Structure 1
Amino acid sequence: MTEEERAIIRNKYLGIAGPTKKRSRTERKKLAFDWDATDDTSDKLNPAASVEARVFGAGGRGGMDTTQHHNGSSNAFAEKPWTEKSLDEMRERDWRIFREDFGIASRGGHIPKPLRSWKESDIPPDVLSAIEKIGYKEPSPIQRQAIPIGLQNRDLIGIAETGSGKTASFVIPMLAYISKLPRLSDANRQLGPYALIISPTRELAQQIEVETKKFTDQLGYNCVSIVGGRDMNEQAFSLRNGAEIIVATPGRLKDCIERHILVLSQCLYLVLDEADKSIGMGFADELDFILDSMPASNMKPDTEESEDPLALLEGKTDARYRVTMLYSATMPSSVERLAKNYLRRPATITIGDANQAVGTVEQRVELISGDDKKRQRLFQLLSTHYEPPMIVFSTTIQSVDALAHDLRKQGFNVTTLHSKKTQTQREEALANLRSGQSDILVATDLAGRGIDVPNVSAVINYSFPTSFEAYIHRIGRTGRAGKKGIAFTFLEPSDEQFFYDLKQELSRSPVSTVPRELDRHPAAQSRIVRNEKRRRED
């Protein structure tokens, strides 16, 4: 095949490349109407028709200047923080940030806004004046949310870390409630108190009594404690003139009710403090007995009315609804049952993580085997580091007494606290520590919860407690009310079931570090579950 023939075939099948003609752009034909544009009268019927509509494109967004749009949106997010705003300027976003700043979480309907300051609250003027005289400068996180709820006469469940100011969070709304009731007189004082606070231990009850009397002494009310370890006749005599507020332990309160020394016919305000501790100490039956002794006619209905602030503030036509508050560090099933039976549509407040230590406590852990080495280290810490008062915890009564004996031989000024002490001895030990007559308190877990000794510089766990929860409450005796504190813990191989939880706790703490020996220990890599029971305190 010749070259010419190949060219013919190629051109036939592949085509011949050649110059293309430039197509001229056709113009879109404009629609021409039969009438003149001046004849359009639609602008008289609808003024919007005379405005030219802006379309997307050409640097605009539906007629919006994009530069102006971006400037406006940036200014919206550059607004001043809630700390610089007045109460009227606060928006929902500001309140959300406020709650996050103070670690406040709440559940339930109609939750009121938290307190920013005392002066912005609805607290009655006489109670507010007492707050100022006592010297409360700023509300604590639990007080910021619990007090507004309490002022609405709502039932409340409060879950908060140790040293959070719980006492004032229920005493202040309680006093606001009582201030609206008639003063006790010969006609009604035999009907019992207006308010009742139940605490698991004598020490905590007396501590609550002291804090409450700071208010009642200024407001003209009477507050009395009923606790075990004191003469029953003496306590009956103290109730002779009546009391608006009674602080009691479950066992002694039940005895007084059974002996007809006390009735609760007009009790309209109930606080269950440290409810999980009360149940854990075996007072579940006593609590049921006491709550069943109160008038059922004043219980709130289990309806939405129990969440309605207006309905609760108005009360009932013939009597007021009873207010019930429950405070607990944890919510086991036994406490949930108690809340379900005796609280009506409660608001629930959680402050921070109640199962974690206060963020102001530095936790230091040391693995020490052998009692001799632990004692040497204890003497060293007490001699060279921190100012009194200090608290040393041990697990058993025998070890507490032995430690106190050895510390006294070393020249330390020591007092002790455990369940074998009489009530008078317990009060004296705490009074000496608070006044400075004693520098060191050696105690079992009896002092690990609820007892408030101001300015404790250090806590030393000579032996690890029987539960991790007890560890959290022990170290919570220092670093209270926003102050810094430090806690030393001596660990032995027998404590390895707590190594994992302890490592996690130290990792979460903003002021603590995990020691290398604990971090690499095999028992700290996963949680160990054992069926055996550890020794109890007493």
Structure 2
Amino acid sequence: MRLLETRSIDIRVERIKFSKYLLHPVNSKVLQIKKKIFRIPPAGTILLNPAQSFTSTRLILTYTRCLTVVGVLISTMETLKKGMETLSLIDLLEPQKSRRFGEDGKKNSSEGGDGVQREVYIPTEVEEDDLFSTSISSGINFDKYDSVQVDVKGTGDLPPKINCFSELNLRELLVRNIGLSGYKKPTPIQKTGIPLILAKRDIMACSQTGSGKTAAFLLPIIQFILQKGEFSSASSQQKPSCLIVAPTRELAIQIKDEARKFSKGSMIKSVVLYGGTSVGYQCSQIVRGVDILIATPGRLLDLVSKGAVSLDAVQFFVLDEADRMLDMGFLPEVKRIVSEGNMCCKTSRQTLMFSATFPYEVQSCAAEFLNDYVFVTVEKFKKRQKLKDILDDVGTLKTLVFVETKKNTDFLASWLSENNVPTTSIHGDRLQSQREQALADFRSGKYPVLVSTAVAARGLDIKGVEHVVNYDLPKTVDEYVHRVGRTGRVGNKGKATSFYDGNEPMDRTLAHELLKVLREGDIEIPEWMQGDNSMDDNGASSGFESHTRSQPVASTSVINNEEEENWE
């Protein structure tokens, strides 16, 4: 029977009983099991003595290598669970009863108190080199958003916003990883938020998902950790420098991948904790070392209570999507994290809160957790929300939404789906089988909204379209007529909605031709598009209005959209 060969392990034991076998510390540098001697590195020494027994308290294992093999001793010494996939460190940290049975005494540790079999999931981690190819880069097409207003309110001297990453004097490693990520220009929240965080100010930022806020707080935090030059090492109890709390496992995983991406090539270790996953696997990740800990509230509290994590060394405390966290009822858990984790007071740490909205509950949290904070509000964009409102109004009408780029096709479809509008999409980069499946789902009504580029939809006979939306106007009026003609066929009623942006050169170019088409079709023209007073010689317009008129064949709405929302 092999326990250890070349893998190193550091074990501290405080009298623990597995059946009749006792483990306790000794001074020798060997492990004795049934008179068989196994060499162990100086980092840890234990002796197994089956002749004695004590009451179990706890056993803490610290791994210094990823593939350390540890034996879990149960009824006889002949049984050894081998490998991280079958090892649950929580079994070793809890009393034997809770380790062997469910809460109601049922056998099988994967059963809960209700007797239902629980799935123990061990996630597959994205390879480091794949992080840059699978991520969505923010800050790529943000030249058009320079005019976005960012309001900053706070006391004292506030640093000016930046216009490019080179103004930040970041470490070379960070600069390289930013470039590999495809970031060419900071987003509005990054332009303002990064300098504030580097100035050691607490911030409360109202910024939407997809605005680049993750990089806004990760980049300065990683910069500080690199400057300090103190990194975590293998230990039975980890004390991260940065704690990021997120409401969902999906967001937590996303933040962790971003942290790994920006810190690639450094000694910074990022670990994620969330429920529904093998606790043993997550503990095995923690004990190797953690500088940046990303976690959902419940799982974090679980491991804090067991002593696997201490928060008394946290210098950066981040609450992401705070409004969603409160909606999900996590406020008591967040308060417990601060108190039970022995986190230092708010004047001795830097706290950063990010929220899409700023209701009273979020304001109260900001007052409780933040110290002399700066309030940052990024102007909210209305185009996507306006589209959602339109789709909500039309209900289950089969709607075909046209966008200009393949990337925005996926962005928009994902955003609508996340906001309870069942949506699928097609574009030129999809496999044929994926396109056919998307079309089948659209035709069947499983997904009543289909987002597509004009090129992908060209030549396809998409039957049953009741509503067409030009989210991005086409470049020619002929293409506009072709798109609108997809609805209201065979004498049936149809509806078409178009978004018009007077600040977009292509839209201004199309404006006069579009007016002609609307007049020829006897379609009511919105007031802001009529006359010389509301539309200048370049076709630019002002105001915001949605207008719809029912027609025997097709009705058309033209929506003025001065405030673009396209976070690519």
TM-score (norm 2): 0.46
Q: Which has the higher helix share?
A: 1
Larger radius of gyration: 1
TM-score (norm 1): 0.49
